[in-house]
Structure 1
């Protein structure tokens, strides 16, 4: 082992994926995307609770939010679509939430590929390999610029969900 690097063996990298397979910039983008998805799933479960009139920081709210977070992602999004029809939402919030749920339904496979796929960089292209599922191929090729657009989209959506969550929380 090298002196001062007790977490490595001989000349091996500390983190193989970060130092050998993917660039730090790509790993950062992937981390932003995955964490944005995680926060959106949390917000979606809480927005469903708020649309049902559950008060924040109550056991009923916490239990319902947790049960929603245990659902497969596509089922959570379906619950969000139903919440958009709640009479507790203004027509603007309802329309906005319906639009967001539609986006989430269309792109849920990207979340699955980001979390479960093995990402490989080839110049300005990315190959993501994952187990074939429900008609989805086992691999997906795209360009880094498309990844950048997806990260920007998910960030925009996270911001919209956060604003909606704040508005709904202040009303209960």
Structure 2
């Protein structure tokens, strides 16, 4: 079936659909790479018996829990790399809503305004009750491109860090997390 025959192709600009797909796949690869990196930071090598079960366990974590686990595992890095990875985990925490919105939001093209609008529903706990908060906002192309480029940059950093550990070019500083670094 040709893409142009799909319903969504008539509702959204083709370039946006492509960029959204690139962003979502980049986020998926960030999560995949984060799992591998956590295993490396926990001194597990792909050939180790415990690597695969741990990797799969990490793959099934909620995004927020994966981010926290990455931040904790980062303490076995030398200080400069640790600080850099902690900055990345903070970025993930601050921006994970955009990944959720990209994956679960419904976009609409406003032909008259030549802009995109997103419809998204936040789910929060408030006094032990679940509260749903709908959000509708305009999305500008520059913001989409910024998120795509940020995600690509972070994927490159995480992949490079993991490759440095796996190749032995980066020596981890300790086997167990340094609690002093966690307080920074």
What TM-score bracket applies, with the shorter chain setting the length?
0.7 to 0.9
The answer as to 2:14 corresponding to 1:24 is: yes
- Cα offset, 1:59, TM superposition: 3.4
Residue equivalent to 1:15: 6
Contact 1:124–1:144 (8 Å) recurs in 2: no
The answer as to 2:43 corresponding to 1:46 is: no
- Change in 2 beyond 3 A, CA 1:136/1:153: farther
Q: What secondary structure sits across from 2:50 in the alignment?
A: helix
Stretch moving more, 134-143 or 91-100:
134-143
Highest relative contact order (Cα 8 Å, sep 6+), 1 or 2? 2
Please give the alpha-carbon distance, in whole angstroms, between the structure 2 residues aligned to 1:58 and 1:141.
48
Please give the alpha-carbon distance, in whole angstroms, between the structure 1 residues aligned to 2:68 and 2:115.
33
Q: What secondary structure sits across from 2:116 in the alignment?
A: strand
- Cα offset, 1:112, TM superposition: 0.4
The answer as to 2:113 corresponding to 1:117 is: no
- Cα offset, 1:32, TM superposition: 0.6
> Could you report, residue by residue, the CA deviation over 1:149-168 in whole angstroms, capped at 9, with x for unpaired residues?
11111111111111111111
Unaligned runs of 5+ in 2: 125-131, 172-184
Residue equivalent to 1:4: none
Within 5 Å, give how 1:1-172 maps onto structure 2. 7=1, 14-18=5-9, 20-86=10-76, 89-122=77-110, 123-134=113-124, 137-171=134-168
Please give the alpha-carbon distance, in whole angstroms, between the structure 1 residues aligned to 2:85 and 2:54.
19
Stretch moving more, 49-58 or 136-145:
136-145
Unaligned runs of 5+ in 1: 1-6
Please give the TM-score of this superposition, normalised by the length of structure 1.
Answer: 0.84
Question: When the two structures are aligned, how many residues end up with a matched partner?
Answer: 159
Contact 1:129–1:140 (8 Å) recurs in 2: yes
Please give the alpha-carbon distance, in whole angstroms, between the structure 2 residues aligned to 1:57 and 1:23.
45
Please give the alpha-carbon distance, in whole angstroms, between the structure 2 residues aligned to 1:166 and 1:140.
39
- Cα offset, 1:136, TM superposition: 5.6
